[in-house]
Amino acid sequence: MSLRIETILCRAGRMDNYSYLLTDEETGTSAIIDPSETTPIIKRCDELGCKPSYILNTHHHYDHTDANIEIKKYYQAKVVGSEYDAKRIPGLDESVKDGATWFLGKSKAEIIRVDGHTIGHILWYFPEDKALFTGDTLFNLCIGGLFEGTSNDMFASLNKIKNLPDDTLFYPGHEYTIHGIPFALHYMPNNPELQNYIQHTQQKLNRGLPVGPISLGIEKQCNPYLKAQSLREFESLLGQ
């Protein structure tokens, strides 16, 4: 394991986006995932003396790509994103497809396509570092809205996530935990793992820290959408 991960809050108090600064410690090569806002990203990179070589996008939505061009110019970085989203990602230099392997220095990422929130959304999964960047597909205790895909698309995508190892830590694109708590409690009022999750959430947020990362093993026990065993059950959670 050689991947150092720094969480950067963008659009604070508005959309509470998370961008992530990844650094392969063996080579010093760095990347920004989903740069939503230029100022906090450059500020944090400068504080750390870091010059990202890459921008990695999960999908095309503006609150995940707004800073692509400015960050690209500032650091002479290359933008990497889904080939299925190629015409919608600003400044795209390199495209990747489902099942591909991509390297940040010597840190290996696997690309997983997850239609639902959008068509062509991808996950960046670093198996050796047990890190998964879920964009707007999976949040703490909830999931992304179906802007382009169908319920069947999203259910299939979540099953891909459920098949990953339980000790994988996932890093979502927004801080939405507080919005997911009432929904999760409605379906699992007596779930002790969920009670612990909520306590953890309150402690982290009270300290001004992100709730994540959380392991997929815990999320599978507490997120109602991940507990759904059939498409019908999943659609009932969506109110369909």
Residues 6+ apart with CB under 8 A from 66: 35, 36, 37, 38
Mean pLDDT of 82-96: 96
Least confident of 13-17, 26-30, 182-186: 13-17
Express each pLDDT in 139-188 by its tens digit.
999 999 999 999 999 999 999 999 999 999 999 999 999 999 999 999 99
- Cα-based distances in Å from 119 to 34, 142, 200, 229: 17, 19, 33, 23
Mean pLDDT of 60-79: 97
Residue 1: is its pLDDT beyond 70?
no
Express each pLDDT in 102-139 by its tens digit.
999 999 999 999 999 999 999 999 999 999 999 999 99
